[in-house]
Every structure is written in C-alpha cells, then in structure tokens.
Amino acid sequence: MAPMMETFRLGPFVTPRIWTGLWQLSSNAWGSASVSKVRQGMARHVELGYTAFDMVRARSAYPVGSVLLIAIGSSNALWPVADHYGSAEIIFGQFRGSLPPSQQVVGATKWCVFKRVVPTRAVVLAAVQERMERMGTTSVDLLQASSRFHWQDYSDQNYLTALRILKDLKAEGLISAIGLCNFDAIRTDEICTQLGPGAIASNQVQFSIIDTRPLHGMTDVCEKHGLRLLTYGTLCGGFLADKWLGQPEPDLYSGNLTPSQRKYLDMIVKAWGTWSLFQSLLLTLRAIGDRHGGLSIANIATRWVLDHPAVGAVIVGASLRTLSFISKTPPSSHTPPQSARPPGARLGLSEHPDDNHRAFGFRLTDRDNADIEAVLAHSNGRTIITSIGDCGAEYR
C-alpha cells in the first residue's frame, strides 16, 4: 500500500508536499508535445493527488518579438506563444477549466519585472489581471513576486511598494495568497516585517542536499514570520537519481544535457565539490534507500528536504516531453529502459508521479542523516553561501 499523501496549508489552500513545476513549458529547449498530450499528463498527476502546479514568467533566448511554437492537438497546428510568459499559464488555465468544479487544483504563478518601473496601482493591477486572463480565472491562487531580473537590484526598493499594492489586491479578492521567489533572507525578513503578519505565505528558493543555503538564515526567517519554503532544484536537474550512480562525469558542453542539468552540474563540480565526491554521495543515498525498503536515490534526496520544518513543498519540474510520456506510461515503480524514454526526457520523480508517494510516509533516521553529513563534511556546501551568495544570488 502506498503511503498517504502528505499535505500542508498555504494560505487558504491545503496542498500536497510535492508540486509539479511547469516552468519548462516556457521554452522549446526542453522539448515539445501537443497540448492534448500535456493535458493528459497533467490529468495523470491530478488523479494521483498532485494538485498543485507552479509556473514561471520566462524570458527566452529568442529575440524580442519572436514567438515559440507548440503543436495543438492531433492537427499539429502551431500555436504562437509570446516570449514573455510562455504557454504554461494558458495551458494550465485551459486544463483547470476542463475539470469539474469539485476538483480543486492550485496554480502558482509569478510576477517578474524586467525593467525599471514605477509600481503604481494601475501597473500592479494590470499585471494581476493579465495573469487572471491567461489562466481563465477571477483570482490568482498564489502570485509570487520574483527578485530575478530587475528586482535583483535590491537598491531599487520598489518591490516593497509593489508588494503593498498586491496586499491590497489580495484584500479585494483578486489574489488568494502572496509569495516571494528567490528573495534572500535579509529582504524576506524586511518584507514580512513591513507588510505585517500573514501577508506573505511563501518564498520559492533553490534547496537540495547539494545547495543548503536556505539553512543559513532563511529557515530562521521562515520560523519568525510563519513562511513556508517552496523548493526547486531539489533533484539537481535529475542528477540526484540512480541513473547517475557509477557514471562518469558528463561533458558540460556535449549538448546531451538539459539546460537545468548544465546549471546543476556546474554547481556540483565547481561550487560544491567534485564528481568523485558526488558519486560518494549517490552511493550513500543508495545505501539509505536500501535500508528503507528499496527507495530510490530521488526519494531519499526529496525526503531530506521535506524533513526540514520550514519546507512546505518540493517542486519537481516536468517538461513537455515528460508530461506527454507519463500520460501513456502505466504505473510503475521502476525506471523504464533508456530505449523507452523519449529523447531529451528529464529523469527524476517527474517521470513517475505514481512513484512520488514513496517519498512520503517515513523520515530519515539519525543514522541516515549522520551518513549524509559525513559526505557533506568533505564538500564546500557550507561555503556556497559565501562563494555564490544567499538564495537567488546566482541570478544577480
């Protein structure tokens, strides 16, 4: 029997502790699939209880004014998508609109500011209304203000003005919950202090066994203000998986890696440690998984993050190809052979949403955590916050 789904409260919602990330729908770099196949994959997640989806405002590598093209339905007609937000919000909105009213599905999206702007009420309201229009709803479930792009320059404190206006719009019923994304501990504390108790529900940050920066200040801020962390990068783009155990270090520039994998491989071998040490970590996680009845490396890596009280949910990304793939894959707790995977499909929990439950229903023991810490002690993990900076600093 599969463990029961773990949930937590975020604002007015009760959501699972594993969310599905749709950020890769913002670019063809992760592959492509028909919208009908994507919806089938999303429906599979919902059937299994994974009812929370996270979206991102994307700024693609394509020239301004260009469009991304994705195929719609069996006709394979091309749908042009503007290069600001990608298609995630639109696809999510259409998918949610197809569900019965009794089925609660939570959609979390973001507001990114790409250039200096005076955040008047009209400007902020227009951004919120655009999110509602694209998602086909009368209110935004969770709107996350992102520190990436222009607001990565914290000297421009207009983010405080914008967040105060978002708080007003929440009171008017246009937003159900307000979150942050990639704000560091100092600014998160500042925002929560100035806006008052309960104004901010979450902060989305990178957090994994490799990248432990949230443990150096952010979790204290969460405890002080009652925030929950929504974490991405928890599986390091799929590197924290059995597939990579015993494998040689991949070529960063071979073209065989996804954009996420290139990002996380760079962190693993340049900021955190070496590929050899990473193999020691995978071997340790494999042994821990065996002690817990044959759980996967990904299960253990996910559980390690979930065991931290400040963490509300782990966000596991699903690409277009992955969503298409899982929609036609029967439930299985085993990784399909390489030949069965579509080209470019990312590895990790997102390929088997039915297997995500295996990260629930247990906690790591003192022995498990001691074994992990014995490996981490040889890494640069504790100094990443000084070499890279606090949460989100890599985007500044």
Nearest-CA neighbor of 85 among 112, 117, 123, 103?
A: 112
* Least confident residue range of 6-10, 121-125, 331-335, 392-396: 331-335
Binned at pLDDT 50, 70 and 90, residue 229 comes out as: very high
Q: Can you give the pLDDT at residue 323? A: 47
Q: Can you give the pLDDT at residue 375? A: 98
Query: Measured between alpha carbons, how far is 89 from 23 in angstroms, rounded to an integer?
Result: 10
Burial of 363 per CB tally in 10 Å (0-12, 13-18, 19+) = exposed
Nearest-CA neighbor of 374 among 246, 291, 288, 297?
A: 288
Q: Is the pLDDT of residue 329 over 80?
A: no
Nearest-CA neighbor of 383 among 272, 219, 220, 236?
A: 272
Question: What DSSP line would sit under 41-59, residue for residue?
Answer: HHHHHHHTT--EEE-----
- Compute how many other C-beta atoms are within 10 angstroms of the C-beta atom of residue 254: 8
Mean model confidence pLDDT for the chain: 82
**CA-only gyration radius of the chain, Å:** 20
Residue 67 Cα distances to 35, 60, 379, angstroms: 16, 9, 42
User: Look-up: residue for tokens 């309201």?
Assistant: 125
Q: Is the pLDDT of residue 149 over 70?
A: no
Nearest-CA neighbor of 356 among 23, 15, 45?
A: 45
Could you tell me the pTM of the whole model? 0.85
Q: Can you give the pLDDT at residue 81? A: 27
pLDDT in tens, 234-280: 999 999 999 999 999 999 888 788 888 899 999 999 999 999 999 99
Answer yes or no: are the C-beta atoms of 332 and 275 closer than 8 Å.
no
Burial of 286 per CB tally in 10 Å (0-12, 13-18, 19+) = middle
- CA 83, 140, 143, 357 torsion: positive or negative? negative
Write down how long the chain is: 396
pLDDT in tens, 62-77: 333 322 232 323 222 2
